[in-house]
Amino acid sequence: MSAPRPPLKPLEQALAELLDFAVALDGVESVSTFEADGRVLAQNLLSALQVPPQDNSSMDGYAVRCADLSPAQNLLSVTQRIAAGSSGTALAPLSAARIFTGAPIPEGADAVVMQEDCDVVDDAQVRIKSLPAPGQWIRRAGEDIRRGAVVLQKGARLTPAALGLAASIGMHVLPLARRPRVALFSTGDELVMPGQVAPEAMKPGSIYNSNRFFLRTLLSRLGCQVSDLGIVPDRLDATVQALHGAAQGHDLILTSGGVSVGEEDHIKPAVQALGALDLWQIAIKPGKPFAYGRVHNAHFIGLPGNPVSSFVTFLLLVRPFLLKLQGVTELAPATFALPAHFTWARADKRREFLRVRRNPAGGLDLFANQSSGVLTSAVWADGLLDNPPGQTIAQGDLVRFIPFSEVLG
Ligand code: AMP
Ligand code: MG
């Protein structure tokens, strides 16, 4: 009789162990701010200046001195014109400066009156129709960023807005964490490549390699430099050889397929022959046959072959792993409690990640076919429902929703 199988590892535990292995890569790269989208800052960014640099107008109108104006005295002479990019001179008493959005407030002025609240009397005079309050329509120097402030922190992932902010303090080059070098390969004798075999020429038993396409894209979105090593045949010697070669010059080897318990699954013994397998099999559905180990000096992650399993385990496990390698500290996606607009009667022993979609009524709809081979579900869905083990779901139950927008890239 064979020994009883140990219980599968819960996801939280597997993730914690996996992240312990993800020691941040060393090396800082200077990269053009134009090229830094999605990359991770390796140092705090401090501002050498204040933004905005001076008090400036947030309206097209007239800069005035409030003390000059009263219900009885609302006529001012227009003595200067200040457009964005130029600067004026000190404002004399009883005068106004024609001013435009973004232009610096002249010395002495303490409010801007928008042009809609003014009557132009002639070229040289303006009548102020509504009395301004001091400070009105003035953007204060430094109200966005103080000099010396930490504008973006080490470990932050750069978004388009963050790139704009970095540029606003004059950074045209940024200190970034090194890109993880990832070797990617697919296993499976059944796999053929789109473009190499036409649909009508497919041999019985063969399928197109779909995992390769989304895995490569997901890796690139996470800032990785990908070496796509193609398809490895289902043989132990070929698998050992491929892993051995891939360990050179890569931080991570990522594979899909061949990591279950069948006779055609050679990943596990190959990793054990070259290094160590530290994690194998997780109590989630889809995605049970997930593996982590080391091959020589490289990290190794084996994803299941079923496309939805491969996709989901990437988002849940590989994504935080790769971000941590780059020094990111916030790894958990934001999740939301939303009502289920369906029932789920089949509780599973494993924690399940169901493909669902938000509907206009504010609830979640379920994709009808939750098979791990049905990639259509992942396209139809806009996120995953994280359902605890042993749990059924009734109409209206609040469930935990992870939007794909939180984890794709
Ligand atoms: P495996 O984990 O190798 O046993 O594969 C499980 C299932 O996923 C099988 O039906 C495979 O044909 C399928 N599969 C494996 N790799 C891929 C791939 N790269 N693209 C699409 N399907 C795959
Ligand atoms: Mg296989």
**Percent above pLDDT 90 for the chain:** 97
> Could you read off the pLDDT of 125-168 as tens digits, one per residue?
999 999 999 999 999 999 999 999 999 999 999 999 999 999 99
> Could you read off the pLDDT of 186-225 as tens digits, one per residue?
999 999 999 999 999 999 999 999 999 999 999 999 999 9
Helices then strands (H, E): number in the chain?
A: 9, 26
Q: Could you tell me if the CB of 186 is within 6 A of ligand 1?
A: yes
pLDDT attached to residue 261:
87
The answer to whether the beta carbons of residues 320 and 331 sit under 8 Å apart is yes
Cα of 399 vs centre of ligand 1, distance in Å, is 30
Give the pLDDT band of residue 409 (cuts 50, 70, 90): confident
Q: Could you tell me if the CB of 363 is within 6 A of ligand 1?
A: no
Distance CA 140, CA 146 (A): 11
pLDDT attached to residue 258:
96
Is residue 1 scored above 60 in pLDDT?
A: no
Helix or strand run (H / E) with residue 252: strand 252-256
> Could you read off the pLDDT of 256-265 as tens digits, one per residue?
999 998 899 9
Q: Could you tell me if the CB of 88 is within 6 A of ligand 1?
A: no
**Percent above pLDDT 70 for the chain:** 99
Cα of 313 vs centre of ligand 1, distance in Å, is 14
The answer to whether the beta carbons of residues 289 and 260 sit under 8 Å apart is yes
Average pLDDT for residues 229-245, to the nearest whole number?
97
Question: pTM of this prediction?
Answer: 0.92
Average pLDDT, the chain: 97
* Index of the ligand 1 atom closest to the CA of residue 212: 19
Distance CA 12, CA 71 (A): 69
More confident residue, 163 or 2: 163
Start-to-end Cα distance in the chain: 46
The answer to whether the beta carbons of residues 231 and 186 sit under 8 Å apart is yes
Q: Could you tell me if the CB of 180 is within 6 A of ligand 1?
A: no
